[in-house]
Amino acid sequence: MNADTDRPTFLLVHGSWHGAWCWDHLRAALDADGWRSHTVDLPSANLPAGRHDGARPAGMLDDAEAIGDSLRRIEGPVVVIAHSYGGVPATEAIADAANVVGVVYLAGFQLDVGESMFTSLGTLVPDDGTGYAPPYEDARRILFDDVPEVEADRAVARLRPQSVRSLTERVTTAGWRTVPSSYIVCDRDHALEPSRQRELATRADSVHRLPSSHSPFLSMPRQLATLLGRIATTTLPSPRR
């Protein structure tokens, strides 16, 4: 189906350890529904070859800059979809993005000024000694519990170390205070407890639910695409600018 040019474009922002590859199935489903979408690779989780060369690891603010660059390249209104950690740099980036008409936190960290992943969780995954945190040892269960086995194994193999710096840098501006926001709670999440998601969701303008684990873009992309389309067309209020 051809994309409807009257609709906003989705910018899909991945979480820790992931890359733009994780959105492929969702993008296909969105395209079939007539939605345009773009992705961004966050530098904190997408390291160039030779990551032990002593270069300073990318932080959350570097990720926010990458998101901002992507937003500036998209013409027309944009709805940002931010998964998990991706909610933190997205929160930072959308504050100054004139074309963003909404943000959707997908089991995401909808943090406020002065907060970071570390302050939100109270703990961090271990540093591997190079300034990066390796993926969960049990990533298959924690991140992809309801994803088909072959697809989950493929996703686990593509996970990359995450910059510890990105998990400790604090939000300096909370874009959701001026941009309409929605929150999608994943009811079977093992990575971010649904109860914690519901707490974060109190900051959003609307709250929605999926019966999924942490990664519905892999386990139920069709249902997620339908929900995102509904949010973008009927739930997000007019921009509060």
In a domain, 94, yes or no: yes
Task: Give the pLDDT confidence score for residue 127 in this predicted structure.
Answer: 59
Question: Which H or E run contains 49?
Answer: none
Mean pLDDT of 37-54: 77
Chain-wide mean pLDDT for the chain?
Answer: 91
Please give the residue that has the higher pLDDT: either 212 or 237.
212
The CA distance from 140 to 151, in Å, is: 10
Task: Give the pLDDT confidence score for residue 241 in this predicted structure.
Answer: 37
Q: Is 34 left (phi over 0), alpha (psi -120 to 50) or beta?
A: left
Kindly report the CATH number assigned to the domain that includes residue 132.
3.40.50.1820
Residue 62 phi, psi (nearest 5): -65, -40
Task: Give the pLDDT confidence score for residue 128 in this predicted structure.
Answer: 57
Minimum mean pLDDT range among 119-128, 132-141, 192-201, 227-236 = 119-128
Task: Give the pLDDT confidence score for residue 239 in this predicted structure.
Answer: 45
Length of the chain: 241
CA atoms within 13 A of residue 208's CA, in its CB half-sphere: 22
pLDDT > 90 fraction of the chain, expressed in percent and rounded: 82
In a domain, 3, yes or no: no
| Side chain identity, residue 195 | S
Task: Give the pLDDT confidence score for residue 130 in this predicted structure.
Answer: 76
In a domain, 66, yes or no: yes
Of the candidates 41, 104, 94, the residue with the CA atom closest to the CA atom of residue 71: 94
Task: Give the pLDDT confidence score for residue 71 in this predicted structure.
Answer: 98
Structural domain span for residue 57: 9-235
In a domain, 107, yes or no: yes
Task: Give the pLDDT confidence score for residue 5 in this predicted structure.
Answer: 65
Q: Are strands 132-133 and 37-40 parallel, antiparallel or unpaired?
A: unpaired
Total number of domains constituting the chain: 1
In a domain, 240, yes or no: no
Task: Give the pLDDT confidence score for residue 122 in this predicted structure.
Answer: 81
